[in-house]
Amino acid sequence: MLPAPFSSLPNSASTNFELHAGAYVFRLGGKPFGLFFLVDGEVHLIRHTKSGDAVPIHRAYAGEFFAEASLFSDAYHCDAIAQTHSKLLKIDRSQTLALMETNPRFSIEISTYLARQVQDYRRLLELRSIRSAQERVLSAVADGWLKGNILSFAAQLGLSHETVYRALSDLAKAKRLEKVARGKFRMIRR
């Protein structure tokens, strides 16, 4: 069964599959056949600069959807590559659009979900505008952005991993964060 907001779709609208690290979920320019729910693993959505450098535009972690824009696009706008062994659900585009046309409640749920994503991306832009690395890291941890590993977290924040490690260490020493496991921190409630 699919998680909300796609739980209203019939079981036939989703397909389970697995990919090994380095495998493509889809490629830039490919015809969209659906969006995806990441059951387990990590997938990066990547575009390439004119000089060929890979630029991650989104990092999807277990429990997240990605490629939602494919519902309304004629082609995928990036590559999606599994970073680790990943288990996914492919959600059929045509069945999703058909249900949106006939079920106003489902359409509102999808719209609400997409609006929250816009808010999250705006918050990420706000976080990236914080000049102090410590304050940027602290704010991001408080917002729950430290989901995967430190390297991915650092890249998401636009900081080097060394800077993030140092900021996390300094914040823990200052008792603003608590280290709960390797690479895992939480806010200290005051």
Q: What is the mean pLDDT of each run of 10 residues along the chain (190 residues)?
A: 88 96 97 95 94 89 92 96 96 96 95 92 92 95 88 88 94 92 85
pLDDT at position 3? 85
CB 35 within 8 A of CB 70: yes
pLDDT given for residue 189 in this prediction: 78
Structural domains in the chain (count): 2
Last residue of a domain, one of 81, 109, 125: 125
Query: How many other C-beta atoms lie within 10 A of the C-beta of residue 68?
Result: 16
Q: What is the pLDDT of residue 8?
A: 93
pLDDT attached to residue 55 = 86
- pLDDT score, position 151: 87
Structural domain span for residue 11: 6-125
Query: Does any domain span residue 1?
Result: no
Q: Mark out the alpha helices in 7-47 (DSSP H runs).
A: none
Q: CA 107, CA 113: separation in Å to the nearest integer?
A: 10
Place of tokens 């080097």: 160
pLDDT for 173: 93
Q: What is the pTM of this model?
A: 0.79
Do 103 and 62 lie in one domain? The reply is yes
d(CA 103, CA 8): 10
End residue of a domain, out of 125, 150, 170: 125
Q: DSSP assignment of 88-137, as one string?
A: EEEEEHHHHHHHHHH-HHHHHHHHHHHHHHHHHHHHHHHHHT---HHHHH
Same-domain pairing of 20 and 104: yes
pLDDT of amino acid 61:
87
Does residue 39 form part of some domain?
yes
The last residue of one of the domains, among 106, 125, 144, is: 125
